Structure 1
Amino acid sequence: MMRNGTVLSFDFGTKNIGVAIGHKITGIARPLGSFKSNQRSPEWSKIKKILTEWHLDLVVVGLPLNIDGTEQLITVQARKFANRIHGRFGIEIALHDERFSTAEARSHILSRNNRGYRALKKSNIDAVSAVIILESWFRQQL
């Protein structure tokens, strides 16, 4: 059950994790940036700081599926990441299909920035992907 409607999303990756924040009432999200990760362990201290700062109702984790909807190795890793967030912090988790979010993020960045391909830094792409994942999740809740 949502109390204040604040929702965070993660675009999970084995090297970087994008983060976005949004509100269920508006259905709009904004990027919070990204941070480094590795396959064994993300920076849990950064995750804890974000979760504590925003007083969230829910965390949405992007679920990276193949184009045909089947799972791949990183899908399992994203599920594990989501389960660890729930286990460590007790916050409700939702998984959301993130197919094509990275391609959409690249397109979005290029269309809104006159710096061209120089604007396509990995950290920008991951954060915008997290926005796309969260706004897609909001639309699905209608």
Structure 2
Amino acid sequence: MAAHRFSGTLLAFDFGTKRIGVAVGNTVSATARPLTTIGAEKNDLRFAAIAELLKEWQPAALVVGLPCNDDGTPHEMTALSRRFANRLKGRFNLPTLLIDERYTSAAASSALDKEGIHGRKQKNLIDQYAAQQILQAYFDEPSAGTNA
């Protein structure tokens, strides 16, 4: 599979039914950082918040985490994340990639632990840190992304 090459800023999303974590990164530095968590559960509010982020950051592409079971098989959230990625692509007309997000929540929790943020204090940050892990995974291995 050919590597997807984008230049500039990218936004990544860790989709959840309650919250969506967002991270930002740049292809020049190939590093990602946590940005924000969208806490709205209503789609119109979620997409309004995303539209504001897109206006502010002007990303070249979007990256969405694709959750799977440990063995790679899909589950309920796999289809919901895929649908979210397709909506992003359709609504904002930007290239949108899906990245395997297995183990990103564990990696995000570990990163927060290292920063001295433990237990329940992680709740409001874990999604954006998971989005950071998703985007960093793309930077580390661009060919791993599949088009939404």
TM-score, structure 2 normalization: 0.87
1:8 matched to 2:7: no
The corresponding residue for 1:129 is 130
Query: How much has 1:25 moved relative to structure 2?
Result: 1.9
SS of the equivalent of 1:70 reads: coil
Matches within 5 A, 1:110-129: 110-113=113-116, 115-120=117-122, 122-129=123-130
Provide the TM-score with structure 1 as the length reference. Answer: 0.90
Indicate the SS of the match to 1:43: helix
- Contact 1:110–1:119 (Cα < 8 Å) also in 2: no
Q: Which residue of 1 aligns with 2:142?
A: 141
- Dislocated runs of 4+, deviation >6 Å: none
Distance apart, 1:112 and its partner CA: 1.6
CA distance in 2, matches of 1:71, 1:101: 16
Partner residue, 2:146: none
Q: Deviations over 1:91-121 (max 9, x none)?
A: 11000000010011111101121x533532x
What's the secondary structure of 2:20's corresponding residue? Answer: strand
What's the RMSD between the two structures over aligned residues?
1.6
Residue 69 of structure 2 is aligned with which of 66, 86, 93?
66
CA distance in 1, matches of 2:39, 2:110: 23
* Cα distance between partner residues in 1 of 2:126 and 2:26: 21
Give aligned-pair identity as a percent: 40
Q: C-alpha displacement at 1:35, in angstroms?
A: 1.0
> Does the alignment pair 1:32 with 2:31?
no
Give the residue type in structure 1 aligned to 2:118. Answer: G
Q: Which consecutive unaligned segments of at least 5 residues does structure 1 have? A: none
How far 1:141 sits from its partner (Å)?
A: 2.1
Is 1:92 matched up with 2:92?
no
Q: Contact 1:109/1:119 (CA < 8 Å) preserved in 2?
A: no
- Give the residue type in structure 2 aligned to 1:110: D
